[in-house]
Amino acid sequence: MNSLGNIGSLEWVQEKIKTYPELSWLLSKDVEHTQEGTPIQQENSWSIKLKGAFYPEFERTMATLVNLYLILDGSDRAFNRFVASQPKEDALTKESFEKLHHYALKTTVSHTDGLKAVEIDLLLGDMGKTATARKLAKEFSIEEHDHDLFLGECLKKCPQIFPTFLTLSPALQEELKASTALVHFGHFSHLEGGPEILMKLRYSRLITSNPKALNLQLLAHALDISGARAHEDNRGSKAFTNKIFLSWNGMKDVLSELKLGSEKDVISRYVKFRAGLLGLDPTQKEDCMLVRIGALMRLFTPEEGQAMKKAYYALEDNQKEIVAEAFDPFTPRQERTPTYIPALLVNFLNTTIKHCLTKEEAIQSCLQEGVVAVASFLKDYREGKLNRPYLPNMTLNFNKAAGQVKDNFKIFSTHTFSIAQGWNVILHERRSFQK
């Protein structure tokens, strides 16, 4: 069933749905899908073949499972499938694919039922986006909006709502409960928060007490990234390019330092690593701040680093101050990390490029308009100046705003942020905006 020729076939997908019934929860119009990139209803979309309708999150989750088997296979044929939709200049190299292959093999064989544990970890990861999971969890008084934290609460209070979770051995069930929601690897990789994003992981001592569990979570995160743009093209992984591999691998390596160092030490190591990619100086405070912005914008080259620097120094002094205060990577905050800011900035960057700007001009526009707008909004929110009070125990979610910037490269000159129901951040036209 898992022969390379069969992986990803309609028969294979249908078998996975039988094995993991929660996958069918993603085949619904009530699923909240990630607003990054543009969903394209392709003829080879699994959801269209199954249901005659296009469901982006099903495409993404199914792609993570397909990519898991391509990586475990490790052959040239599997590699070629994995990179089929990637631009040649950015494509994952065979050397990087082989490193990922060996890591995946080692991680899955180190557990009894390790492959099944990774699959279940992947499919449960986005259950908080489904109406089915939320309805079931509500019976146990779980109404957490942040879908990552939602899963952690469910595994602690009502794991029985996920039938396939209960098929794991008791030991693996306890391991997933203990290792879920300790750290959001995407937040760390994109420097979406400060040192506080590593606090739970450090105090859990998982790195020393159960490094195999951490490896399983890191592998699941790599696979989650691999499916990130499957709603645009589900051939292999459109998203897991060589630059993304380098950032994931760099993050994996510096996390080991959390055994001995502080959260700030590890953030500093990662900032230094990303600064090296961007050609920035990690000993300079402003360059460290630009490293964080570059990570949020998913930039990786010295040319992109210099474009950011040029754009930042062209800001007004008060704008520089607001941006620096919002995006200093070493400032600890006693609040939940806002989500989907990278999706917002990446969508806006791509939108400006579509409107005939060069990459340097697009980076300049993204920083001077998008980054400044986000920084100003966060400042006003933290100072209690918005339509909702500052509540550090709630998660600001920029997903809807990310969808709004896809086709409007002038949006920040005509719109302003506000907080809607469910702590969703949206953009309103200035003339109609009311606090």
The answer to the question of residue 271 being in a domain is no
Residue pair 162/106 in contact by the 8 Å Cβ criterion: no
Q: What is the pTM of this model?
A: 0.91
pLDDT in tens, 309-355: 999 999 999 999 999 999 999 999 999 999 999 999 999 999 999 88
Is residue 71 domain-resident?
A: yes
239 and 323 both lie in a single domain: no
Domain membership of residue 118 (yes or no) is yes
Q: Tell which of 216, 237, 256 closes a domain.
A: 256
Q: Compute how many other C-beta atoms are within 10 angstroms of the C-beta atom of residue 15.
A: 14
> Quick one: which H or E segment has residue 417?
strand 415-419
Last residue of a domain, one of 256, 273, 302: 256
245 in a structural domain = yes
Given this model, what pLDDT does residue 112 score? 80
Residue whose pair of structure tokens reads 């570059």 in the numeric block: 294
CA atoms of 369 and 272, how far apart (whole Å): 26
> Does residue 1 fall inside a structural domain?
no
Domain count for the chain:
2
Strand partners, 426: 418
Within this chain, do residues 321 and 241 fall inside the same structural domain, yes or no?
Answer: no
Same domain, 108 and 174: yes
Mean local confidence (pLDDT), 95-117: 93
| Position 94 in a domain | yes
Q: Could you say which of 218, 240, 256 is where a domain stops?
A: 256
Identify whether 148 is part of a domain: yes
Alpha helices (H) along 257-368: 263-278, 285-296, 302-313, 317-327, 341-354, 359-365
Distances (CA, A) of 431 to 416, 425, 427, 428, 434: 10, 18, 12, 8, 9
Residue 318 sits in the same domain as residue 185: no
In whole angstroms, give the CA distance from residue 81 to residue 194: 37
Per-residue pLDDT at 38? 62
> Does 25 share its domain with 166?
yes
pLDDT tens sequence across 54-92: 999 999 999 999 999 999 999 999 999 999 999 999 999
Q: Has residue 265 been placed in a domain?
A: no
Angle at 150 between CA 144 and CA 152, to 5 degrees: 135
Give per-residue pLDDT as tens, 384-396. 999 899 999 999 9
User: 327: domain range?
Assistant: 284-432
What residue type is assigned to position 134 of the chain? R
Residues 226, 314 within the same domain: no
For strand 415-419 and strand 425-429, is the pairing parallel, antiparallel, or unpaired? antiparallel
* One domain, residues 29 and 89: yes
What are 271's two structure tokens? 């900032």
DSSP secondary structure string, 272-283? Answer: HHHHHHHT--TT
**Are 333 and 425 members of one domain?**
yes
357 and 427 in a single domain? The answer is yes
- In this structure, are 217 and 79 located in the same domain? yes
pLDDT on residue 357: 83
For the CA atoms of 385, 387, 393, 398, what is the dihedral angle to 10 degrees? -100
Q: Are residues 116 and 60 in the same domain?
A: yes
User: What pLDDT, on a 0 to 100 scale, did the predictor assign at position 41?
Assistant: 57
